[in-house]
Amino acid sequence: MNFAVLASGNGSNLQAIINACRKGKVRAKLAAVISDRSQAFALERARKAKVPCVLPLDPKGFQDREDFDRRLVEILAENKVDFVVLAGFMRILSPYFIQSFRDRILNIHPALLPAFKGGHAIADALAYGVKVTGVTVHFVDEEVDHGPIILQEAVAIRPKDTAETLAFRIHKVEHRLYPAAIDLFARGKLRLAGRVVRIG
């Protein structure tokens, strides 16, 4: 199976995925890395890893969200991509994109969904005062941070945590959990029963 990673920022999850592919822990081929931000460090990481297609795609060049997503789907088809992995991709995908890759889009979120949806999950969990947060890998559907949950792991919040110290521990969990989830999907080990994901 071929997959693409879409990323907007640092790309530490992308790096963990690249490393896991190299070690044979993700049994699928990373065929493309695309970013909506030309300066994203994720692109640098992808070039260094010699991913076959590495592309910035600037939303400014498109009329609207769907127009951008149509081009994205074209590029993914050209690269024979079977499934899509969002790794810090900070754009909402259109229904057109979701339909094009129905049940074949994975996302990682730095909280225990359905708690703390949105773009500031780590800061939001700290500000709310929860004692436990975590990481969720889930399928993407039309609603933001909503689709069927594949894997979750809790991370305890310590009394002296700052956004930085908590993010550090959350990222460590992400870098282990995401490659594991991608490998499960690539090997056909995930089955959907309504919104419940059965593994094995």
CB of 191 to ligand GAR, least distance (A): 24
Catalytic site residue 109? yes
Q: In what order do the strands lie in the sheet with 29-35?
A: 53-56, 29-35, 2-6, 83-86, 105-109, 132-139, 149-156, 196-199, 190-193
Whichever of 77 and 154 has its CB closer to ligand GAR, that residue is 154
φ, ψ of residue 140 in degrees (nearest 5)? -100, 130
Residue 38: both structure tokens together:
């030309």
CB of 176 to ligand GAR, least distance (A): 13
Q: Return d(Cα 62, Cα 70) in angstroms, integer.
A: 10
Whichever of 88 and 179 has its CB closer to ligand GAR, that residue is 88
Whichever of 87 and 93 has its CB closer to ligand GAR, that residue is 87
CB of 126 to ligand GAR, least distance (A): 14
φ, ψ of residue 68 in degrees (nearest 5)? -60, -45
Q: How far is CA 196 from CA 10, 30, 93, in A?
A: 31, 27, 22
CB closest to ligand GAR, residue no = 88
Pairing relation of β-strands 132-139 and 105-109?
antiparallel
CB of 63 to ligand GAR, least distance (A): 25
The footprint of ligand GAR (CB under 6 A) covers 7, 9-13, 87-88, 108-110, 119, 121, 171, 174
Whichever of 18 and 186 has its CB closer to ligand GAR, that residue is 18
Q: Report the catalytic residues.
A: 109
